[in-house]
Amino acid sequence: MAISIARKTLLHEWRRFLPAVVAVAFSGVLIISQGALLIGIVGANALYVTQSTADIWVGFRGTQSVELGRPILADTITNFFVDPAVARMEPFLLGSGDWRSAKEKGGTSVTVVGIDTAFDGLGLTHIVSANLRGALREPGAVVIDAADSSKLSTSSGDTAEINGRKVKVIGLINGLRGLGGVNVVGSLDTARLIDRTLPSDTGATYFIGRLTDPDSEVSTVSELQRTSLSPRTEIWRSQTLADLSTNYMLMESGAGIAFIFATLIALVIGTLITSQTLLAAVNGNIAQYATLRALGVPFQGLQSIVLEQAAWVGLCGLAVSTFVSVTIAAIANAYRVPFEFRISILLGASAVLFIVAMVAGLLAIRRLRGVDPATLLR
């Protein structure tokens, strides 16, 4: 009986419960969007690592984030090149420059990324195709992210200058849009030509490598760290360095802290809107609940009705918020916004709002306990 009454009440009084469904949906979209933006923005700080296929990264000891790397010499990792546990090692360069296009007089600060252009190179493999890698062997050839094309006033085939050196954009890539900065990718030789402060072929910002047996990555990295490195050099697994860079952005940068604060505000606002709107919807039916009590329905049965109503309101609102969030994610992807839509974020937001909906239902009928039904029906 309780199930039938709960559903019939929802269908008959849908106008009363519609604002609650909308509130749950709005709150869900707010929390999911903030969470996805937070993960996407802080994750962008580790793009050099996540867009590469290296198993290990070797760099200056104590580096806090991948973009903060300092040069190391090749002779500090000589053992890596002969160690049977390491299948391949190659340099990875990070420099800087001042970009000036032929169309604009002003300059734009850019990060110069130098990668090995071999067809099986490890650096930025996910976004720089084998064909582009081959084309980057031409001196002065570079690629930029398509999302940064307008910022640099440059398209594929155009020429520009970086630090007074002429470069040619031979293609556009997707997936290396920085947080306010711009990445320009070229070969190792081109990067060294552009930024004279980069180490010569005897050094690099990082040396990245592939292990012979990736399944034994943890033990291999520990052994290499113990036996093959100088005191000024450190080795990280790719996931470790990515997490290090993400956590640095999240906890050490002012932008990360501010975004965490904004996300928490969104969570609080979302839960408050949901609880208050659902409380109002359920309280609007107090007279009907009082009638049921007058007819002999026990308080436990009344509680089951209200809880089921709250559950249906929560589920309908979450279904709408999921659809809207997926749509927002598709739009964000089309405009290359760092929006990391994950199932874990969706499930977390859904759990929070569903619990809020159930608690709101319980609070709304609390006033019925021990109250004379005749008093409520006046």
For residue range 251-302, list pLDDT tens digits in order: 877 666 777 787 778 777 777 777 777 777 666 666 666 677 666 777 677 7
Quickly tell me which residue has 């409520």 as its tokens: 376
One-letter amino acid for residue 111 of the chain: T
Listed in order, strand segments (DSSP E) in the chain are 56-60, 72-73, 86-101, 108-115, 141-145, 159-162, 165-173, 183-187, 203-204, 206-211, 233-237
Half-sphere exposure of 144 (CA within 13 A, CB side): 28
pLDDT score at 2: 45
Which span out of 32-46, 122-136, 304-318 was modeled with the highest average pLDDT? 122-136
Please return the burial class of 103, using the count of CB atoms within 10 Å of its CB with bins 0-12, 13-18 and 19+.
exposed
142 within 8 A of 171, measured Cβ to Cβ: no
Q: What is the CA radius of gyration of the chain?
A: 29
Chain-centre distance for alpha carbon 202: 35
Quickly tell me which residue has 């005897």 as its tokens: 202
For 214-252, the pLDDT digits (tens) are: 888 888 888 888 776 678 889 999 999 999 998 888 887
Determine the average pLDDT of the residues in 136-155.
Answer: 92
pTM: 0.80
pLDDT score at 25: 87
169 within 8 A of 143, measured Cβ to Cβ: yes
pLDDT score at 1: 45
For 176-219, the pLDDT digits (tens) are: 987 767 999 999 999 999 999 998 878 899 999 999 988 888 88
pLDDT for residue 160 is more than 50: yes
pLDDT for residue 136 is more than 50: yes
Q: d(Cα 172, Cα 159) in Å, to the nearest integer?
A: 13
